[in-house]
Chains A and B, each alone.
Chain A
Amino acid sequence: GNSVTQMEGPVTLSEEAFLTINCTYTATGYPSLFWYVQYPGEGLQLLLKATKADDKGSNKGFEATYRKETTSFHLEKGSVQVSDSAVYFCALSRNNAGNMLTFGGGTRLMVKP
């Protein structure tokens, strides 16, 4: 079946530090991959996505590259800000229509000034 595994948090960084949150997946076929972010007290919102191997998704300084050979989609940011503190979810689509998502467990990021 389909599954997504993320590194456990919390991840605590100082402002301007480099961020990596690991995500690996198991899936049949070639799913699309996503990162969603949940700020405190809010629902999830799409951060970035990639629909095929070697695609790089990017948004708000965050990047992730779809690596088929390692079945990974790690999230990176070169310099985090306090406002990036949130929970980050990796997800994959599990149907051809692309709207049925399987989510990872989420990784909490805390950025200190």
Chain B
Amino acid sequence: DGGITQSPKYLFRKEGQNVTLSCEQNLNHDAMYWYRQDPGQGLRLIYYSQIVNDFQKGDIAEGYSVSREKKESFPLTVTSAQKNPTAFYLCASSPAGFGQHTGELFFGEGSRLTVL
């Protein structure tokens, strides 16, 4: 079945450690996104990529990094510079380009990161 796979589902990290969250899609979508979800704050955009080898900062990019070396993959690294990394992280994908998009993002099941 086509979809988006995020791993790991749960992750614990000590302060000062970097951690990488995986996101893989087999929907042949050009665009991929990372959102952070905190209780009562909805989803906030961290980074997005409209095409391979290109990505842009979203609203809350500080302390995060990404890469987009393959169309299928968009890993997110939470660095030690992120002041409050404990959150639920959601990856999404969609077709890109004007006229192609319907506004529907396809989401993975999320990764919950807890900093100890």
A60 to chain B, nearest CB (A): 15
The docked-state distance in angstroms from the alpha carbon of A89 to that of B114 is 24
B48 interface residue per 8 A CB criterion: yes
B96 interface residue per 8 A CB criterion: yes
B95 / chain A contacts, CB cutoff of 8 Å: 99
B105 interface residue per 8 A CB criterion: yes
* Contact code string A66-78 (vs B, CB < 8 Å = 1, else 0): 0000000000000
B109 interface residue per 8 A CB criterion: yes
* Contact code string A12-42 (vs B, CB < 8 Å = 1, else 0): 0000000000000000000010101000011
A82 interface residue per 8 A CB criterion: no
The docked-state distance in angstroms from the alpha carbon of A42 to that of B94 is 18
A46 / chain B contacts, CB cutoff of 8 Å: 103-105
> Can you name 10 A-B residue pairings with CB atoms under 8 Å?
A44-B90, A46-B103, A97-B100, A97-B101, A98-B102, A99-B94, A99-B103, A101-B105, A105-B41, A106-B42
The 9 closest A-B pairs by CB, nearest first: A43-B107, A105-B42, A103-B43, A103-B42, A98-B101, A99-B101, A46-B104, A44-B107, A97-B98
